[in-house]
Amino acid sequence: MKGVARIAVLIAAAGLLLTGCISKYKKIKVSSFEIESVVPTGMRSCNAVVAVGINNPAPSFVVKDIEAVVKRGGEVFGIITGESVTVDGKCDRVYRIPLQGQLAEGVGVVQLLAVYKGFNPEDFTLDLHARANIAGDVGKTIEYTDVPLTKFMK
């Protein structure tokens, strides 16, 4: 009987601890976003580095499987993938994240040059997908659809 009571107390304590951690994860904020560099790697691809400021009051976690689909006028314009990044716990820090970009099938260099010449960020949206893991496979999939590019350029 005492063993069952101990297990019940341990389960209740673990639940309370997890509830406290979850509320801290909800307070994570992106404090800044800046494109540091863009380097063409071919006619249809490039590498870039973005600096993302993250205020994290929660324990550390890993963001992986970063992918963004860039759309122009609702049509896929390109795909961006990013390397995994470990976000330190209980700190406010800027993380440099390497990205790789590729033009979508059907998007040519002429279209890219036209966009470059008359670039208007209001014409673009992003579909974002990533996975945030706390420990091993425990975590959450993060997905946003049709986020205006202007939101990242402020």
Angle at 127 between CA 31 and CA 134, to 5 degrees: 55
Q: Is residue 116 part of a domain?
A: yes
For residue 143, give its domain range. 28-153
Quick one: which of 112, 109, 113, 34 has its CA closest to 70?
112
pTM: 0.77
Give domain status of residue 122, yes or no. Answer: yes
Asked which of 27-36, 93-102, 125-134 is least confident by mean pLDDT, the reply is 27-36
Is residue 87, in this structure, part of any structural domain at all? yes
The label of the residue with tokens 């040519």 reads 108
Residue 103, domain CATH:
2.60.40.10
Instruction: For the chain, give the mean pLDDT.
Output: 82
pLDDT the model gives residue 2: 45
Residue 57 resides in a domain = yes
Tens-place pLDDT, residues 25-78: 678 888 888 889 989 998 889 999 999 999 999 888 999 999 999 999 889 999
